Amino acid sequence: MEINKIGLSGINSVNSKVNDKTETDFRAVLNEQLNKLNDKQVEADNYISDLISGNDVDLHQVMIATEEARLSLELAVQIRNKVVEAYKELNNMQL
């Protein structure tokens, strides 16, 4: 009876495929969320421009859109701060 060995190259290729997929998924999610944030900012800017130019715009819609954009940006900044803090903590860890 012969036992077949599993080479490390096989395991590394599986890990590489998993890491590539995870990285791509994370990148896609991050890009999608940043695009949504940008869309909220643009929408709020459009409402403000319409209000300033005298177009028929509900003031409540303008306030809601600007507040959503502000809160979304604040959330993105807080998430970025937490990621940077975690990165710094990982860098300071001794192996």
Q: pLDDT tens for residues 21-66? A: 666 788 899 899 999 999 999 999 999 999 999 999 999 999 999 9
User: What per-residue confidence (pLDDT) applies to 24?
Assistant: 74
Sequence-distant (6+) residues with CB within 8 A of 90 are: none
pLDDT of the residue at 65: 96
What's at 34, amino acid-wise? L
In this structure, the chain runs to a length of 95
- Which residue shows structure tokens 């600007």? 66
Output the pTM of the full model.
0.68
Domain map (residue ranges) of the chain: 8-92
